[in-house]
Structure 1
């Protein structure tokens, strides 16, 4: 599984990615708005095992993918798309702090939309973020997603209840944007 953008190669994780993933997955600033982390080395190793296991499932409904720079091959984050219901999917992304504010999350998220609509044949793709994660909300807006609402205290993690903002895009909206 490989997707390419102007600056990124998005590919399946391999066992040798664990150290690079742990670099960002153990960073409290990177994981502040995630429902996981900061990871221990074992948690990161377990994630890699789960991500590789997803690659073997048929039909494949879950894609946890490594974000690497095309020019150097350096792993700078991860992203994913998960088919949650017939013809619907959820995307997510996480970037190493050293590579924030360079447009990589938007580039990866746009590639996931393209894959979801053009390859997986999805009707609707959605994503969520914590209300304080203004960077992630900006990514969702930039790639053409529409704000759907504020889900109040709908998930419990890291010792408390948390809110989320939800965004989505429909296939017809995506296709209309591609024609511009």
Structure 2
């Protein structure tokens, strides 16, 4: 079971089936999945299946630190963020947010809290993230959270559930840089 994390405006906790309706609301939108690895959700049932097979199953296996984001003011599930993979004390960070909450600093607030959790509690050595060409807002979140730009490369990437050629930009923050900051 994941520990609950709190920010000024949000509560981060495990994704559950009760979140399906809110997740489907944003995951069915083309503008949301434009730069995501998963395709847009076609039905509420599709979203429920994903929550069971991806989130809940990975929680049971103890291999997931993916959080649901609950906005405190209205108790609405507005997105996800977390470490989709952790290997050798290096975590890969990802996030997705409902468009109504874009450009309000919420994801920066959430990612900042997750980075703190990663270094303080999970004892990570490094946190990595990447964003696809054109997704400048995602890159800006990484920069605001203290991540350093490492470079870009053209390669085969998974975008909306399909493998395509694309440009990917990589960022990271190390434990040393985090504690120096």
Both proteins in one fold, TM over 0.5: yes
Which residue pairs with 1:88 in the alignment? Answer: 90
Which residue pairs with 2:32 in the alignment? Answer: 30
**Equivalent residue of 1:147, what SS?**
strand
Which deviations, in whole Å up to 9, do the C-alpha atoms of 1:23-80 show, x marking residues without a partner?
Answer: 11111001111111211224322221020112222xx332221111122211111112
The 2-side partners of 1:70 and 1:156 are apart by 33
Larger relative contact order (Cα-Cα within 8 Å, sequence gap ≥ 6): 2
Which residue pairs with 2:51 in the alignment? Answer: 48
Aligned-pair Cα RMSD in Å: 1.4
The 2-side partners of 1:104 and 1:47 are apart by 24
The 2-side partners of 1:72 and 1:14 are apart by 18
Which residue pairs with 1:165 in the alignment? Answer: 169
The 1-side partners of 2:153 and 2:87 are apart by 19
- In the alignment, structure 2 segments of 5+ residues that lack a partner are none
Question: Which of 128, 131, 136 is equivalent to 1:126?
Answer: 128
TM-score (normalizing by structure 1): 0.91
- What is the deviation of 1:172? 1.0
- In the alignment, structure 1 segments of 5+ residues that lack a partner are none
- What is the deviation of 1:154? 3.2
TM-score (normalizing by structure 2): 0.91
Aligned residues: 175
